[in-house]
Structure 1
Amino acid sequence: MTDGDGRSAWDSIGEPLAFPRSGLTVKNRIFRSSISGSFDSYDGTGGYARINWEEKFARGGVGAIISSFVPVARRGRILPSYAMIHDDSTIPFWGAVADRVHAHGCKFIIQLSHSGRQQDVPGVENRYRVALSSTSDMDTFHGLLCRSMTKGEIDEVVEQFGLAARRAQRAGLDGVETHSSHGYLINQFLSSGINDRTDEYGGPLENRARLLREIVRSIRAHTDGHFHLQCKISAVDYNNAIYPWEKKGNVLEDSVRVCQWLEEDGVDALHVSTGSIFPHPRSPAGDFPIDVASEVYGRMLYSGVRGGFNQRVFSARLGIAPRLFRWWWRRRRGPIIEGINAAHCAEIKAHVSIPVLLNGGIQRASLAARVIREGIADGVTIARPLIANNDLPKHWEAGLDQPPRPCTFCNKCLLNALANPLGCYELSRYAHDYDAMMDEVMSVFHPSPHEAANL
């Protein structure tokens, strides 16, 4: 597939991407975006299945992997069985991840994260204490309870991010990304739709951005040299996407200014997404599979005070309620799925000089190439299409616009991840062969350490 100038899409996508400030170079413009399942021990100790999981994408040809949500503190978890980087004992595990990924010429950037009030399943360690946030108002979708953080607690979290970055560098990882989007703690401070503080961390945008900027400075203070640092930002909050009477939150102009401040603070790159909750109708853009939600949402039943109400809505037995919710979800999403954040990303890129990465359902090589050639972004970050086809980059390199069995953006992978191994659960992609689908989903558990010892 070539354009009018005789160039293939891969000519643009396959070009290495250099980050001048940090000196990091990625072999192509494809980044596996931040997504993962519960592959680890309940206490957050990294497991062998996660290493297998990350290697699948490195082997498939992506230039770099951005890890899933990695908590910098036990209180910042979103789910049990997610690997953490909260103390030095985690360094050897992340070093093992780096070794496996680097063997395929792929880079690994760890996403440093804190849940704040947005804890899907807090686990026994957080079950009986109220979550920390910029506000004492509960999350609107799930009814997750929280309280406004004290200055001492803010300082502690800032230090936790810095120490986590130091561990990442010691583990031999290639960089860190702050999860400053999708309604997690940093976004709870950034968003005018959530942050209702009246101190130096609330009110004007400059105050709401203070936490993120302090975290950036802490990471720089705890790492040596030019260790790569990027920030994931929700370009627009759309905080009223589910309940239109809620405040809208940050608009694009706010995020452009925040990104300019981050560039001034020495951040190496920006990663552009959307939304102040997760999942959000626009992130990840696609369907809301009510049948899956009715099966797995029970795991969140007691995480928030609205869990029971949501479960009743999602239950297929109610008939009209789940259909109405699905219709509303699609309406609030809009008609675009692939490249849904492109216009927002282009506006941010036009106002900064550091590399910018675009997130948002890209699966077609022609679209990825256009994003790069038109200066909308310097690279694309992809999750669900890579879950469906781990070797998507190889299809693009071979000249295909999309793989023979493309992702349907059904979002069954994401909802199943609450209770089941993360993988593609769209049965039609496996010619309706359930055993074949399960073999693929469960492949992440092989080889086990015992199998590897006998290879």
Structure 2
Amino acid sequence: MSAHLFAPYTLRGLTLRNRIVMSPMCMYSAESDGCATEWHLVHLGARAVGGCGLIITEATAVEPRGRISENDLGLWDDAQIAPLARIVDFCHAHGAAVGIQLAHAGRKAFSRARGFGPQPIVAPSAIPFAEGWATPHALTVDEIEALIAAWQAAARRALQAGFDVVEIHSAHGYLLNEFLSPISNHRTDEYGGDLWGRARLLFRIVEAVRAVWPEEKPLFVRISATDWVEGGLQVEDFVQLAPELQRRGVDVIDCSSGGITPTPPPPDVVGAGYQTPFAARIRQATGVPTMAVGLITAPEQADHIVRTGQADLVALGRELLRDPHWPLRAAHTLGYDVDWPRQYERARPLR
């Protein structure tokens, strides 16, 4: 049978039971030390019970100043491994693979200048995110080297915790997106200038993570395929970058958009599956596997994305907050026979 939403999908040594992915979403529920809590266990574990093929944690900071809020997850310290490993073990026991999104918020991190936070924010250039936001410190080359090492160390800890996938967060106006975008990167050294200079840090982090991330485990990168502002990144930039990311060991491009400025997408653009064309364009132009995300809510819609080759994986966010068992319901709607948790068998709909 041709590819469909409930067809298994193999990446390197990992086979997902279906193409449904829980998109990373911040829960603002971590301890102040960045450790996962009972909330994360129940929240992520419920989606494993509910039938997701892959669950990706919220943005997990590679250093304390890289958190979006003071209650975001972190993986800069060995003490943060065990609470995450408990979640991974539970999800594995219920058939789901688990990924971790490693991130740095850059100039959008919480900071003392905005009323809270331990230290100044950092960015490629000393350009604030918006009026009223702090002006970030422009990272030096030595500081960039330290950040690359932080990403690599976090990937080592992710391996110790048992994760199946690492996703590098290079979207939504956070640090790596800031380096990529000409809106926020005005550097004149090797980390600025043209697209290839602005992509240098992302390439180096991919290489550093892949150096410690086992060959049999997949590596994803999340991008903002457009900045939604004139002069910013566009999907054609990623048509150029995707093959180079793949050559460095990236297996899937997770295609989101926006966030480099407060400017939202045009109202006439936003609608069901409005970001899917980005995933389709990159996949069809380069052959690099992609993941679609953004206002994907209906089983038929998600299935159509896979069947028509627009993306290899479909990520759901808010819809999985509304319905943790969306995959089980979708399988019934689409007529696919999937395993239900034995504890829930009595609630399984009749054909």
Same-fold call, TM > 0.5? yes
Q: Does 1:155 pair with 2:145?
A: yes
Q: Does 1:184 pair with 2:174?
A: yes
Q: Which residue of 2 aligns with 1:399?
A: 333
Write the distance in 1 (CA, Å) between the matches of 2:321 and 2:262: 17
Retained in 1: the 8 A contact 2:13–2:216?
yes
- In the alignment, structure 2 segments of 5+ residues that lack a partner are 336-351
TM-score (norm 2): 0.90
Q: Does 1:59 pair with 2:49?
A: yes
Q: Which residue of 2 aligns with 1:15?
A: 7
Q: Which amino acid aligns with 1:136?
A: A
Q: Which amino acid aligns with 1:361?
A: L
CA drift of 1:223 comes to 2.8
Q: Does 1:355 pair with 2:289?
A: yes
Paired residue secondary structure (2:74) = coil
CA drift of 1:123 comes to 10
Q: Which runs of 4+ in 1 moved over 6 A?
A: 121-126
CA drift of 1:225 comes to 3.2
Write the distance in 2 (CA, Å) between the matches of 1:334 and 1:165: 39
CA drift of 1:227 comes to 2.6
Question: Structure 1 residues 124, 41: closer, same or farther in 2, change over 3 A?
Answer: farther
Retained in 2: the 8 A contact 1:78–1:121?
no
Write the distance in 2 (CA, Å) between the matches of 1:382 and 1:198: 39
Write the distance in 1 (CA, Å) between the matches of 2:286 and 2:294: 20
CA drift of 1:224 comes to 3.3
Retained in 2: the 8 A contact 1:39–1:49?
yes
Write the distance in 2 (CA, Å) between the matches of 1:121 and 1:83: 16
Question: Structure 1 residues 195, 11: closer, same or farther in 2, change over 3 A?
Answer: closer
Paired residue secondary structure (1:112) = strand
Paired residue secondary structure (2:106) = coil
Retained in 1: the 8 A contact 2:5–2:307?
no
Out of 191, 194, 197, the residue aligned to residue 184 of structure 2 is 194
Question: Structure 1 residues 40, 127: closer, same or farther in 2, change over 3 A?
Answer: closer
Paired residue secondary structure (1:13) = coil
TM-score (norm 1): 0.70
Q: Which residue of 2 aligns with 1:251?
A: 234
Q: Which residue of 2 aligns with 1:441?
A: none
Out of 154, 179, 187, the residue aligned to residue 164 of structure 1 is 154
Relative to structure 2, which stretch is displaced further, 199-208 or 340-349? 340-349
Q: Which amino acid aligns with 1:267?
A: V
CA drift of 1:333 comes to 3.1
Q: Which residue of 2 aligns with 1:135?
A: 125
Matches within 5 A, 1:234-273: 234-238=224-228, 240=229, 247-273=230-256
Which structure has the larger Rg? 1
Q: Which residue of 1 aligns with 2:323?
A: 389
Q: Which amino acid aligns with 2:291?
A: L
Paired residue secondary structure (1:98) = helix
Retained in 2: the 8 A contact 1:78–1:122?
no
Write the distance in 1 (CA, Å) between the matches of 2:197 and 2:307: 36
Q: Which amino acid aligns with 2:284?
A: A
Write the distance in 2 (CA, Å) between the matches of 1:380 and 1:141: 35
CA drift of 1:281 comes to 2.9
Could you give the per-residue CA deviations for residues 72-94 of structure 1, whole angstroms, max 9, x where no partner exists? 10010111122211122211111
Q: Which amino acid aligns with 2:17?
A: K
Paired residue secondary structure (1:249) = coil
Paired residue secondary structure (1:398) = helix
Identity of aligned residues (%): 33
Write the distance in 2 (CA, Å) between the matches of 1:141 and 1:62: 40
Q: Which amino acid aligns with 1:258?
A: L
Retained in 2: the 8 A contact 1:194–1:249?
no
Write the distance in 2 (CA, Å) between the matches of 1:74 and 1:278: 23
Write the distance in 2 (CA, Å) between the matches of 1:44 and 1:132: 19
Q: Which amino acid aligns with 2:141?
A: K
Retained in 2: the 8 A contact 1:79–1:123?
no
Matches within 5 A, 1:111-126: 111-120=101-110
Q: Does 1:71 pair with 2:61?
A: yes
Q: Which residue of 2 aligns with 1:380?
A: 314
Retained in 2: the 8 A contact 1:235–1:255?
yes
Retained in 2: the 8 A contact 1:71–1:86?
yes
Matches within 5 A, 1:433-452: none
Q: Which amino acid aligns with 1:164?
A: A
Q: Which amino acid aligns with 2:244?
A: W
